[in-house]
A and B are shown apart, each in its own frame.
Chain A
């Protein structure tokens, strides 16, 4: 019996992994250190999201944890039965029927025939492919294959689950089942280790491990490390882009995408009631967009969309939402201003994108008469993606509740009018 802390499910000490390729070059052996001196321990019931750039050693770490690859240095101790789902359906044989593969797969994963036969019916029902269960899996569509493979995993009882990006499976209905299963696993006393590039999968974990070039960059429960990583991977390499945390103005934009009709000259984001040191979530934001109209033959309207670092749209707005289209067609300098209410944004990185729409007036007026027009027919003449990055800091005078502690995965946390009544 190996000595291991009772509360821990996984202990990794000084783990390094070196891949050698003999004879790859004239000079002899070529060494590649995929992991260097990695140490961490995971408590039973914790769920760990591992992230990092491609080639940072994430998958190697998972393989070593699964025992598939031997470490070059260091030790790993794992308590309990381990499901290594490095590739969904890896134990499948194409010539065998779905039913036979249930037994094969669960056996390969360490479950006896008796244990499996109790679960057989449930697995088949969960997969939703009972009609085809006695067909060889080589005749399955990839969706059916994945459904069956995931159903098997979902019903077998492991202590530690190692997942390597397996969640983009099947249709929306099945994906919901997958997410539900994953959530149940995370909430249970099972230990989950997940490697992913998907923010949505990572944020569900309660611990985060950031690998960079095989070295542990950070390890802990602080979700900030994940947000920082995402900010870095989007902004990172480009020195021109900075995440604004206080009143800011941007005058230089990607000029490659010039339009003959318009030139974006400046964007200003400021908080008139703020303290000037940093953006507060509980103050109004004022956005000013300055542009130069170069063409006299059209009208222009501004669209603003705010996205998160994954390009999910947090909000979309435009003067057109609440006012008729712009009537001015003269060339010259223009300004459009928008005020975002206080207590509206969450304290995370937001990305501003600005588009200019041509001749919205004609299109929308024509639509009113002929019914032939819709928003799709609007013509965009210039779109500036990622014109400005900003991040407010959570502050509130009103409430004692610090929302930032709740790690809410939402771009907006708006203050609405609430009433509470007692009857």
Chain B
């Protein structure tokens, strides 16, 4: 108890913080994003023998089953791109999305005991889930990279866009999260919609099937699904699969707006989180 008293004044009023003030508070508490993420990872893999390598088991198993079923039995093909790479890259983006959607939406409820005892901007919670998803994404790259080398894919300038692709993917996932979390702390109805989004959404997104297999009219409809764009962008970025589409940028703009509005709504509502169980 020796350091001089801090002079920083914190103000609490009945009004919500301005957006600028709120972003400042998030920045001041940014350490927590990492702390909560590390806590989640530690909790998930503590008291296991394999530890973090468990996070490789799931994509690896999925890779083997889907490649066998769709690629070998049903003979689905993605042209020049080996089907195993097609599935793996699709799952990469989809798993990142679904983890954030699930964990992020429930994150406020999960931490309700801390919320009622300690102040921090609640956006920290979904953001920390994004960090967890990101770490698991990096881990699954350790399966993808050797496979890419095996099939003779090398580096390309497009890979410089990796951070942008991840951001696009994360914005897609966080768009529903902020809305569901902000509504769901009181009424849990929206939580019941999440399985639809994740389990059925995968069949409306070219994760397993190849877009070329679809009838013309359906392909146009697919452009309305931002996750379809995300998965395509991943493959374009990694393998040069397909061609750059302008509607990807429109999708990016759309999810940025929806996510931004969601975060704003979440921020307006978060003052009430601790008043309700």
Contact = CB atoms under 8 A, between A and B. Distances in A.
Nearest to B44: A95
A217 interface: no
B47 interface: yes
B13 interface: yes
B114 A67 contact: no
Given A70-B271, A71-B13, A79-B9, A96 B113 contact: no
Given A69-B275, A108-B32, A109-B118, 13 more contacts: A68-B118, A70-B272, A72-B14, A77-B10, A81-B8, A86-B118, A87-B117, A95-B46, A107-B31, A108-B114, A108-B120, A112-B31, A185-B1
Interface in B1-43: 1-3, 5-14, 16, 29, 31-32, 35, 39, 42-43
Contacts of B43: 93, 95-96
| Chain A interface size, under 10 / 10 to 19 / 20 to 34 / 35 or more | 35 or more
Interface residues of B, number: 35
Contact of B117 (A84, A97, A110): A84
A188 interface: yes
A90 interface: yes
B42 A96 contact: yes
29 contacts: A2-B9, A19-B275, A63-B274, A65-B12, A68-B119, A69-B275, A70-B16, A70-B272, A75-B11, A75-B13, A79-B6, A80-B7, A81-B6, A82-B10, A84-B117, A90-B113, A91-B118, A93-B43, A96-B39, A100-B39, A100-B42, A104-B35, A108-B32, A112-B31, A136-B47, A157-B2, A157-B3, A190-B1, A190-B5
Interface string B241-277: 0000000000000000000000000000001101100
Q: Which of B5, B16, B42, B272 has the most CB of A within 10 A?
A: B5
A109 B115 CA distance: 12
A66 interface: yes
B116 interface: yes
Nearest to A185: B1
Contact of A76 (B6, B11, B35, B272): B11
B11 A66 contact: no
Interface in B107-132: 113-120
Contacts of A190: 1, 5
A80 B46 contact: no
Contacts of B47: 95, 136
B192 to A, nearest CB: 19
B35 A108 contact: yes
A84 B114 contact: no
A45 to B, nearest CB: 9
Q: Secondary structure of the B side of the interface? A: loop
A78 interface: yes
A418 B3 CA distance: 45
B243 to A, nearest CB: 46
Contacts of B8: 79-81
A70 B46 contact: no
B14 A73 contact: yes
A76 B12 contact: yes
Contact of B6 (A80, A90, A136): A80
B12 A104 contact: no
A70 B14 contact: yes
Given A84-B118, A90-B113, A104 B39 contact: yes
A29 to B, nearest CB: 13
Interface of A: 1-2, 4, 19, 44, 63-82, 84, 86-87, 90-91, 93, 95-97, 100, 103-104, 107-110, 112, 136, 157, 159, 184-185, 188-190
Contact of B5 (A67, A159, A185): A159
A18 to B, nearest CB: 10
Interface of B: 1-3, 5-14, 16, 29, 31-32, 35, 39, 42-43, 46-47, 113-120, 271-272, 274-275
A74 B177 CA distance: 32
Q: Which of B2, B14, B35, B113 has the most CB of A within 10 A?
A: B14
Contact of A136 (B9, B46, B119): B46
Nearest to B2: A157
B42 A66 contact: no
B5 A44 contact: yes
Contacts of A1: 9
Contacts of B42: 95-96, 100
A69 B39 CA distance: 25
Contacts of A188: 1
Contacts of A185: 1
A23 to B, nearest CB: 10
A135 to B, nearest CB: 11
A71 B12 contact: yes
A82 B119 CA distance: 10
Given A66-B119, A86-B117, A74 B274 contact: no
Given A68-B116, A93-B43, A108-B32, A79 B274 contact: no
A78 B31 contact: no
A36 to B, nearest CB: 14
B182 to A, nearest CB: 15
Contacts of B2: 157
B118 A69 contact: no
Nearest to B35: A107
Contacts of A93: 39, 43
Contacts of B116: 63, 68, 86, 90
A108 B118 contact: yes
